[in-house]
Chains A and B, each alone.
Chain A
């Protein structure tokens, strides 16, 4: 298989695979929103006491997926806007869990225990319909975007739980094929997965070069010629959570989160309940103005200052320093400390190094000069500047004619752009418009 394009952003502060010790919080602040979900239907009242695993709110748009209480305590709805705060967290919370109602079918179990919302349809990136069944399930085990949780941290105790989770999902989805996206390079974990794949015919390894965004599930689906409408993706933690939900009836309320970036003192992983105060995780090096990015630095979103706790979909937090200073004559400096997609900086004479990056745009916005970098970096072989031009002129039909539907929103075109054009923003806007049209039409 031939891989074109792709690029690794070398960012300083990669989280180590170590998991930081858990510090008990005073209170949990559960945001009622996340990237894809909006828990607008509250199921608890102010001052009520809840037990672990109790439904706090639901997202009516996305098949009523629940927001579950990670610990027992007392509800405070007035503490912060669009948050549910759980105070007076009880120490014995781990033993008591919410009463299990009717044990329905396995899909209902996954929905009820908060696992289902980790699934995503590859064409729309939305939560899939529990009534439907995918043809294939794609799990990206190793992530290359800085920074998302490392499988070495999540699967510390071996891949056993993970493989049995895959087995359960495979059976649950009526013998859907399962694809694991793994790098070509060998590792102990990959060896274990390869062993599992050799003994299970439904389990396949899809090997990719260790370059962003070849780890992207949508990219794998394209390369494997799977229909994006009938392929779903799930992350490693979701698979383990599915296993524990189906085996032990355990709600999925804790997340392994990577915390890294140039501004973090000791970049590592944390295993935390949803709603865990962000202020307790972010250990900054300096008092500089910072931006917390949830998810990877290319595709993730900035965490609003009003968000107090870990949201339900958060995977990794990367802290970047906001650009404040103004560089002097930057365009004529040799650039030993800067790495670029092109070979225009003196750093090409040095071996690859992790770079301390800020939120600098890196220049001024200019019209496209057709340098062709976006096309060279694009992993799916489309011409981003051409598509951008059509979308910018409000001619989406022409954009789709040039295979805009292949775009996986990896953001590399915007990253490498010499003219600092934000393709990703426009592409996402068009996609959400198309999805809305699809749903409403």
Chain B
């Protein structure tokens, strides 16, 4: 690694204040610091610090996503890799440009946004749509708010929301059947479990959902992997368990209650299934179907866009869960995860404000 170190050292002057490439200093530093950590020392107390930094913190999220990434490539072919590549390239460009113009460091949050975005798209999404979406998401979802730590909405979801509204036909027809790329499926495209349930009252079996037999967004189909990744994130303390668990629990409870009161979709003229068992199955289907698991484990628990107060996290998770089921059951959309998280993102500051003012009510009076 000595040669690489020397290379960085020798090219450094070009990026210094009067160098030819001074504009690109943030980019140069970002690359240098990926390979060689900056020799930053503590100045005052605490003289020793925890070894965890933002780079590793974000890397842990990517590690937790690995089962989903691998499964999506297995199911939908190498084009997923291309989508990830485009997402990183275009989103990275926006990030680098903003950093260079602002003359600040490049922040690591993008490493997560850049991988999350392609994973929540239909697997057959054209690459230019990936590019447009990630551009919009990073630009309007994050950078205009001031970059990492200041954004209100999850940037990946902002991008996804934008392409959903801008290119509705592309985004609703891109559901490739898993394995179709290598001839392992009969049809090229396939309706998602949520669409099947809503339009034909066909409920995909739980086991199929877990291992990813039905179609769905690139990263959401292999649900066993999502569960493993999500638990890993919670165990490492990188994600706070309160949001995903309350989200998932409230989805189940909400769907169960709706199921008890006859809200389960039925096919044609046959009566809607009812009873305790049917409601339970409906709850389970809503929990595992669609992108609830992925959304709860990797999107909703984003610490920047979810409340930081402990009760707020529960309120946020429950809000997401209730909204998701309501949208699924009562609206024209088949899936409500994206909308529910974005709506709750908007309520995050309010939730925190209310929780804090209740917790410190006595303090204000005195």
Contacts and interface: CB of A to CB of B under 8 A. Distances in A.
Given A342-B238, A363-B53, A370 B45 contact: no
A364 B33 contact: yes
Contact of B308 (A297, A318, A386, A401): A386
Contact of B240 (A325, A338, A372): A372
A299 B48 CA distance: 10
A368 B147 CA distance: 11
Interface string A370-404: 11110100000001011000000000000001110
Contacts of A367: 107, 147-150
Nearest to A402: B360
A366 B54 contact: yes
Interface residues of A, number: 67
A362 interface: yes
Interface stretch (A88-96, A199-207, A252-260, A353-361): A353-361
Interface of A: 9, 11, 291, 293, 297-302, 318, 320, 322-332, 335, 338-345, 357-373, 375, 383, 385-386, 401-403, 411, 414-420, 422, 424-425
Interface residues of B, number: 50
For the residues of A in contact with B, the DSSP-based class is: loop
A187 to B, nearest CB: 27
Contacts of A331: 34, 53, 55-56, 59
B37 A327 contact: yes
B53 A416 contact: no
Contacts, number: 192
Most buried by A among B42, B107, B148: B42
Contacts of B45: 293, 297-301, 411, 414, 424-425
Given A340-B50, A402-B356, A330 B56 contact: yes
B148 A341 contact: no
A361 B34 contact: no
B282 to A, nearest CB: 34
Most buried by B among A298, A344, A360, A383: A344
The 4 closest A-B pairs by CB, nearest first: A363-B53, A367-B149, A331-B55, A361-B40
Contact of A415 (B36, B49, B53, B108): B49
Contact of A299 (B46, B148, B235, B303): B46
B49 A401 contact: no
Nearest to A423: B46
A358 B44 CA distance: 13
A214 B157 CA distance: 42
Nearest to B53: A363
A370 B303 contact: yes
A11 B59 CA distance: 26
B35 interface: yes
